[in-house]
Amino acid sequence: MWVSGGKDLIVLRSDHAGYERGDARRLLDHPAMHREFPMESNNVVVVVHESGYGTQYDLDTLVADFEGEGYAVTTVPCRALQS
């Protein structure tokens, strides 16, 4: 699920919680992304936290998707933001 400002933007699928190759494209194509974020940037920050259903494979696939779209990806552990 892609969420922005506490609102669900996209429910990727209802049969399982795993990330699948290509899911980032649905986010990048969403109208809210074009309204709220400048697409001129080629940088993406992924904040990683321990709650939820995501796995290391999901994270690796997400990062590979964004890199395949031409973005430089930085991952930040959520605990680093708490200081």
Q: How many other C-beta atoms are found inside a 10 Å radius of the C-beta of residue 4?
A: 14
What's the mean per-residue pLDDT of the chain?
A: 83
**Stretch 3-8: mean pLDDT, rounded?**
78
Q: At 29, is the secondary structure helix, strand, or coil?
A: helix
Torsion of CA 39, 12, 59, 29, to 10 degrees: -10
User: Residue 38: which pLDDT band, with cuts at 50, 70 and 90?
Assistant: low
The model's pTM is 0.78
Give how many domains the chain has, as a whole number.
Answer: 1
| Calpha distance 27→31 (Å, rounded) | 9
Residue type, 62: L
pLDDT tens for residues 39-70? 678 888 898 888 777 889 999 999 999 999 99
Domain residues for the domain of 8 are 2-81
